[in-house]
Amino acid sequence: MIRVLFICLGNICRSPMAEAVFRNLVQQDNLSDKITVDSAGIGHWHSGEPPHKGTRDMLDKLHISYKDMKARQVHSTDWRDFDYIIAMDDQNIRDLRNINDEMSEVTIAKLMDFVKDPDNENVPDPYFTGNFDYTYELVSKGCNGLLDNIKKEKNI
């Protein structure tokens, strides 16, 4: 089983959007028996909360499920439990390295690393910008690129 974890600051906007979008892509490709998806936040502030209303509204508009999703904080055990830890921005990467800088088999990358010539190297946080449409645009491109990468890398 290939395990993917998306990371953002609070786990209510970007990373749950990425989790839902990526899970939807995995289901469309009939790969749910090969790939599992989760998300977490650097901080604990929103633990137990559902995705932000802006994220829910965007996913509802696109008919993408976020059923049963609740925010959680990233744990050092995630480096053992996941194959890919995918962050939304440079600060998330720095924070992840501060949490666990041990060498491991996990691939740690930014979501935009999977987009050829991205408009933005980071996914801006709509919690602050209010622009959930742009966040979705970037997340969608990144998730498609990530899935293509995993399929090639893992020959699935």
Residue partners of 96: CB distance under 8 A and separation at least 6: 7, 42, 74, 85, 87, 108
CB 21 within 8 A of CB 139: yes
* 69 contact partners, CB below 8 Å, separation of at least 6: 16, 19, 20, 39, 50, 51
Query: Could you say which of 13, 78, 125, 143 is catalytic?
Result: 125
Q: Catalytic one among 8, 23, 78, 89? A: 8
Q: What integer pLDDT is reported at residue 71 of this predicted model?
A: 98
DSSP string, 27-80: HHTT-TTTEEEEEEESSSTTTTPPPPHHHHHHHHHTT---TT----B--TTHHH
Exactly one of 13, 14, 23, 89 is catalytic; which is it? Answer: 14
Q: What is the pLDDT of residue 103?
A: 66
Domain of 12?
2-154
Angle at the Cα of 60 from the Cα atoms of 30 and 10, rounded to 5 degrees = 90
Q: Which amino acid is at 63?
A: H
* Known active-site residue 56: no
DSSP state of 10: S
- Based on the structure, what is the number of domains in the chain? 1
| Mean pLDDT of the chain, nearest integer | 96
- The pTM is what? 0.97
125 is an active site residue? yes
Q: Which tens digit of pLDDT belongs to each residue from 28-59? A: 999 999 999 999 999 999 999 999 999 999 99
Please give the Cα distance from 109 to 92 (Å, whole number).
10
Asked if residue 109 has pLDDT above 70, the reply is yes
DSSP 8-class letter at 112: G
Q: Which residue(s) pair with 8 in the sheet?
A: 41
Catalytic annotation present for 72:
no
CATH number of the domain bearing residue 100: 3.40.50.2300
For 85-100, write each residue's pLDDT tens digit: 999 999 999 999 999 8
